[in-house]
Structure formats: C-alpha cells, structure tokens
Amino acid sequence: MEEFKQLTGLVAPVDRVNVDTDAIIPKQFLKRIERSGFGQFLFFEWRWDEKGNVISDFSLNQPRYQGAEVLVSRANFGCGSSREHAPWAILDYGFKVIIAPSYADIFYNNCFKNGILPIRLSEEQVEDLFKRTTATEGYKLTIDLENKKITDNAGLEIAFDLDEHRRQFLLQGLDDIGLTLQHEDKITAYEASRVAY
C-alpha cells in the first residue's frame, strides 16, 4: 500500500444515511478476483437506471465532482454485508478518504486494510461539510493524517481522532502482510532453525 500522510482533494457528497455495501458495489459485480476494476461499478444502481441511462442528479454523475478523492456521507456508512469489494470499489474509483459520522465496524476495518482513511466527525461537522461542498464548486479539503486535522482554504480547521495503531498503518503504508514482513528476518531465522522433515 502507499503511505498516506497528507492529501488535498476535491470533495464529493453522497447525502444518504445507511449506505450499505450492496449499494456501494452490487452483488452482480463480485465475480472478479482482482482488487482492481471495481470503481466503474461504484454506486452502480444510483448512477444508472434500469435502461442504462445516466441518473444526472446523482452527485458522482455531475461534472463538478469528477476526480474527487474525498467522499462525505451520512451515518452508518458501509453497513450490510461484509464484502471487502466495497472498499476496493471506493479506492479504485479514486476516493482515498471518507468522512461520515459513523461506519459499520467491518467496513471501517476493511478501509484501513486497503489504504482508505475513514474519518468520524460529528453530525454537525458533517452537515457543515455538506453545505460547504455544495455551495462551492471545486471545494477541496486538506487531510493531514500526521497532525490529525482537516482544513480548507476558507479557514476551516477540524481535529479528528484516530486509533494510533491504525494511523501508523496508513502513515507507513502497511497492511497485515506488510506488518508481518517487517519481521521477515526473524521469520527467516526461525524457519532456518527448524528441522526439515
């Protein structure tokens, strides 16, 4: 995974509560075994109707939000089934940060394992970000993971909390395998000391 220290990115809103993983990446697209290629199907049933026509009023279909790297949404984001394809689709689409008041636990954990930073803010802070995002075309946030703060060009500054272990995972670009490989010399020494059967 890539190290995550700081990001300045365009913000896109998905103004819905209880965004479940089937809405994030519908079940018919779960046949792939690679982690890539899922972004094109992100929020598929909200982006296109049954005839394949673009639903123009959905935020991600609007030109002003193309290339967004920060997703702002409502409470209980990522609920539903535990499919890891959901963070894969979000990351493949281009989002590196999600901001919401709360997340489903499994989805929240899967974000860190895939290099996505999910930030929890209060309902009031999230509401303020929705207002700023919709009021200003090209609205960007700077996410500073080293100092655990969010800023914009209009004087906004919000501190956020994050478990230090998870913060270090992202800062160092580690997943579970990367963490294990930090002890590769000890693993190799142990394996060499074992008697071959």
Report pLDDT digits (tens) over 68-110: 999 999 999 999 988 899 999 999 999 999 999 999 999 999 9
Contacts of 96 (CB under 8 A, 6+ apart): 4, 7, 9, 69, 70, 115, 116, 117
Rounded to whole angstroms, how far apart are CA atoms 94 and 182?
A: 28
User: What average pLDDT does the segment 14-34 reach?
Assistant: 92
What is the pLDDT, as a whole number, of residue 36? 86
Helix extents (H) in 25-122: 44-47, 85-93, 105-113
Helix or strand run (H / E) with residue 190:
helix 184-193
Strand partners, 92: none
What is the pLDDT, as a whole number, of residue 110? 94
What is the greatest pairwise CA distance in the chain? 69
Can you read off the two tokens belonging to residue 108?
A: 């929240």
Query: Does residue 117 surpass a pLDDT of 90?
Result: yes
Rounded to whole angstroms, how far apart are CA atoms 181 and 97?
A: 26
Query: Does residue 190 surpass a pLDDT of 90?
Result: no
Per domain, the residue ranges of the chain are 6-193
Buried b (16+ CB within 10 A) or exposed e, 42-61: bbbebbeeeeeeeeeeebbe
What is the pLDDT, as a whole number, of residue 45? 96
Q: Which long-range contacts link 29-35 to residues 24+ away (Cβ below 8 Å)?
A: 29/85, 30/83, 30/85, 35/88, 35/92, 35/114
Q: CATH says 6-193 is which class?
A: alpha beta
